Amino acid sequence: MTKTAGILLFPDMEELDFAGPYEVLTAFAEYVDKGWQVVTVAQTTEAVTGAKGLVVVPHCSFETCPPLDVIVVPGGQGTRVEVDNKTLMDFVQSRGREAAWVTSVCTGAFILSRAGFLKARRATTHWAAINELRAEPEVEVVENQRFVHDGNVITAAGVSAGIDMTLYLVGQLKDIEAAKLTQRIIEYYPEPPFAEAAVAVAGKEAS
- Cα–Cα distance between 9 and 48 in angstroms, integer? 7
Range of the domain at 132: 3-206
In tens, the pLDDT along 175-199 reads: 999 999 999 999 999 876 666 555 5
Q: What's the pLDDT at 191?
A: 75
Give every residue of the chain whose pLDDT is below 70, as ranges: 192-207
Q: What's the pLDDT at 192?
A: 67
Give yes or no: 65 in active site: no
Q: What's the pLDDT at 203?
A: 55
Number of domains in the chain: 1
Kindly give, in sequence order, each residue whose CB lies less than 8 Å from that of residue 88, ignoring residues fewer than 6 positions away: 8, 10, 43, 62, 82, 111
Catalytic residue among 106, 139, 153, 154: 106
- We report the CATH number of the domain holding residue 103 as 3.40.50.880
Give strand pairing partners of 71: 6, 102
- Cα–Cα distance between 94 and 203 in angstroms, integer? 53
- Cα–Cα distance between 9 and 79 in angstroms, integer? 10
Q: What's the pLDDT at 190?
A: 82
Other beta carbons within 10 angstroms of residue 135's beta carbon come to 10
* 3-class SS of residue 70: strand
